[in-house]
Amino acid sequence: MRTGPSEVALAFDIGGSKTHAVRAEDGIVVAETVVGSANVSSRGVEEAGRQLDAAIERLGGAREVAAALAGSAGVDTPAAVRRLEILLAERLPGAAVGVVHDTHLILAAAGLDEGIALISGTGAVAWGRRNGDDVRAGGWGHLLGDEGSGYWVAREALRRALRDNDHGRVPAPLSRRMVEDCEVDAVLDLHDLFYTRADPHFWARRAHVVFECAAAGDDRAIEIIDLAAESLADLACTVADRLGLAGPLVLAGGQLVHQPVLERRIREILAPRGITGIRVLEVAPVHGAVRLANSLLSAH
């Protein structure tokens, strides 16, 4: 039986809009908090540092912390990884520090060392690991890709609305619902709003309109969801093919977790492609950061 002091680890799941952080003692979460995004790539080093400070303070401070692991969006280069490592090390002197891309948290949160993670939220990405090798597909942001993401789903609805306007057609039901949800007066106002409010998180939050219309039988909304499912399935298959891996596949991200119609469609597409062991992540990704932080403790 353990009688000495607890081994304390801090774990961070850093997204584009928020940071979910927890404190674990001997592998058990004892405190958690949510602060603003500490993403060094999109928010800058100074703002990321402020948010890390806030999270660490709310979790009881740096004292006795032996390890810290951050899974972050935007750490796509060694330089970005190093910037975040330095921020953590400065705030947690003496602690073992690790930084990974936030996609790595999904398999760890599912209790897996190998497999494929498919994520669809504001963005979209797939990542997998087998025999020490890892492969990523997608996740290049809304300007370069993210097909099948919440942002992409909403944008597709707007594109179709504007195409109808070009042809002088009466706005379709999906277009009218998007106008209502965005609290504007007409389809052309959606165009202005899209460019004046370019935050991808705002538009990702509009994706629910498409799913609601699809549930009501709207053909246009169903088409968009089918295209999203095809794009996401292609990401998973790209990773599977490169790794020679048929599964398991863990589905994560707000859109995949909360929109079962998208999950079902992806399962239907992947079934004949030989992808097996498909499951939806049932815990918050930050629990994967806890598991990875515990591995740092073991090696420290």
Q: What is the pLDDT of residues 182-199, one digit of tens each?
A: 999 999 999 999 999 988
pTM of the prediction?
Answer: 0.88
Cβ distance 36 to 95 under 8 Å?
Answer: no
CATH number for the domain harbouring residue 274: 3.30.420.40
* Selection from 192, 186, 194, 89 nearest residue 151 by Cα: 194
**Which tokens hold the place of 266?**
């992806």
Could you report the per-residue pLDDT of 50-65, keeping only the tens digit for each? 999 999 999 999 989 9
The runs of H, that is alpha helices, within the chain are 40-43, 45-58, 78-91, 104-109, 150-166, 173-181, 187-196, 200-204, 207-215, 219-243, 254-258, 260-270, 286-299
Range of the domain at 61: 8-102+285-299
Residue 110 domain-assigned (yes or no): no
Could you report the per-residue pLDDT of 244-262, keeping only the tens digit for each? 999 899 999 989 999 999 9
Could you report the per-residue pLDDT of 124-133, keeping only the tens digit for each? 999 999 998 9
234 and 171 in one domain? yes
Could you report the per-residue pLDDT of 262-277, keeping only the tens digit for each? 999 999 999 999 898 9
Cβ distance 16 to 37 under 8 Å?
Answer: yes
Residue 157 domain-assigned (yes or no): yes
**Which tokens hold the place of 163?**
């195409």
162 and 264 in one domain? yes
pLDDT of residue 280: 95
265 and 198 in one domain? yes
15 and 39 in one domain? yes
Give Cα separations from 98 to 66, 131, 151, 297 (angstroms).
12, 21, 30, 11
Residue 134 domain-assigned (yes or no): no
Cβ distance 64 to 7 under 8 Å?
Answer: no
pLDDT of residue 142: 86
Rounded to whole angstroms, the maximal C-alpha distance in the chain is 76
Q: Rounded CA gap, 193 and 184, in Å?
A: 8
Q: Rounded CA gap, 97 and 296, in Å?
A: 8
263 and 289 in one domain? no
168 and 58 in one domain? no
Cβ distance 18 to 25 under 8 Å?
Answer: no
Number of compact structural domains in the chain: 2
Which residues of the chain, if any, have pLDDT below 50?
Answer: 1-4
42 and 12 in one domain? yes
Residue 124 domain-assigned (yes or no): no
pLDDT of residue 59: 96
162 and 94 in one domain? no
Residue 113 domain-assigned (yes or no): no
DSSP string, 83-94: HHHHHHHHHSTT
170 and 257 in one domain? yes
224 and 173 in one domain? yes
Name the helix (H) or strand (E) containing 120. strand 115-120
273 and 294 in one domain? no
pLDDT of residue 151: 95
Q: Rounded CA gap, 180 and 60, in Å?
A: 44
Q: Strand, helix or coil at 271?
A: helix
Q: Rounded CA gap, 157 and 160, in Å?
A: 5
